[in-house]
């Protein structure tokens, strides 16, 4: 099942995506995830996808985890060494924009070297702690596309500045669609693509990650309780250096496409 939240005729709605249409639901998307039960297909008039404005699936994920250097190609791109354990860090909800919204580059005295990274996002579906490798897949509600941005020059000053380099306003978005785990099956077969101004900046398969989505869920559950709606953005093959006027997107066939404009 594919779920999304959207604006239509002045109202914020949640719905089930079916080809070029969306079937509106009464419940919101985070409540659906928290319930642990997928909604019934509603008997209602569908809405054309062309007539809606995509919105974040929900405004404030309980936690936003991101994973650095999970692909060898990304580590090589920024002259870094892949760590043995997941290089995880958290991002605040204040840095999010809606799908299709504007990435606003900071003033050059704050950062003058920003990249945008298309990634596979994992949505946690149940409260859990100390998962085994075998149990990790059952804790996943679904998957989505994300765009994670980095002020590379801030990070280059000192690796301890990572959270600051990643948390500038408009430096994260996810959605617009969440695809349930049963529809995706094995995520290792997915290909993650970062598009830049209509061309392909980078692409790689999830199977080439140093730490798989299942392992990332298991690993983080050892340190803290995971809650429905928690989001793990699993890493990028290589980021696109961006400037005002650019367009960037994350595309994962079988999951969705997430686009943003770049302004200053």
Domain with CATH 3.90.850.10 in the chain: 64-263
pTM: 0.96
Check residue 208 and give its pLDDT: 93
Longest alpha-carbon distance in the chain: 56
Q: Give CA 183 to chain center in angstroms.
A: 17
Distance CA(57)–CA(242), nearest Å, equals 25
Task: Determine how many CB atoms are found less than 10 A away from the CB of residue 72.
Answer: 14
Query: pLDDT digit string (tens) for 21-58?
Result: 999 999 999 999 999 999 999 999 999 999 999 999 99
Phi, psi dihedral angles at 192 (to 5 degrees): -100, 125
Query: Which regions in the chain score pLDDT beneath 50?
Result: none
Give the residue among 138, 108, 201, 144 at the shortest CA–CA distance from 17.
144
Check residue 73 and give its pLDDT: 77
Give the residue among 168, 176, 190, 184 at the shortest CA–CA distance from 145.
176
DSSP 179-238: EEHHHH--GGG-EEEEEETTEEEEEEEGGG-SS-HHHHHHHHHTTS-B-TT-EEE---S-
Confirm if 258 and 233 have CB atoms less than 8 A apart: no
Check residue 253 and give its pLDDT: 96
Check residue 82 and give its pLDDT: 84
How is domain 2-55 classified at the CATH fold level? SH3 type barrels. (2.30.30)
CATH class of the 64-263 domain in this structure: alpha beta
Domain with CATH 2.30.30 in the chain: 2-55
Distance CA(16)–CA(1), nearest Å, equals 7
Query: pLDDT digit string (tens) for 48-61?
Result: 999 999 999 999 99
């Amino acid at each position: 099942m594919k779920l999304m939240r959207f604006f239509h005729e002045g109202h914020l709605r949640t719905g089930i995506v079916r080809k070029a249409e969306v079937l509106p639901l009464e419940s919101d998307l985070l409540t659906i995830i928290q319930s642990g039960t997928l909604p019934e297909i509603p008997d209602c008039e569908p809405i054309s996808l062309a007539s809606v404005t995509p919105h974040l699936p929900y405004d404030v994920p309980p936690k936003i985890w991101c994973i650095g250097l999970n692909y060898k190609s990304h580590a090589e791109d920024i002259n870094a060494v892949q760590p043995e354990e997941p290089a995880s860090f958290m991002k605040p909800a204040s840095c999010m924009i809606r799908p299709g919204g504007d990435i606003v580059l900071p003033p050059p005295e704050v950062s003058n070297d920003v990249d945008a990274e298309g990634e596979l996002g994992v949505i946690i579906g149940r409260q859990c702690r100390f998962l085994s490798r075998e149990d990790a897949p059952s804790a996943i509600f679904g998957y989505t596309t994300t765009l994670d941005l980095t002020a590379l020059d801030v990070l280059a000053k000192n690796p301890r500045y990572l959270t600051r380099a990643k948390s500038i306003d408009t430096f994260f978005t996810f959605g617009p669609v969440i695809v349930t785990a049963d529809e995706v099956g094995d995520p290792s077969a997915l290909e993650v693509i970062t598009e830049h101004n209509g061309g392909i900046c980078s692409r790689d398969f999830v199977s080439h990650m140093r730490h798989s989505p299942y392992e990332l869920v298991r690993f983080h559950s050892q340190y803290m309780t995971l809650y429905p709606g928690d989001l793990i953005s699993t890493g990028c093959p290589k980021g696109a250096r961006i400037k005002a006027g650019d367009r960037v997107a994350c595309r994962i066939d079988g999951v969705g496409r997430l686009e943003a404009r770049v302004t200053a």
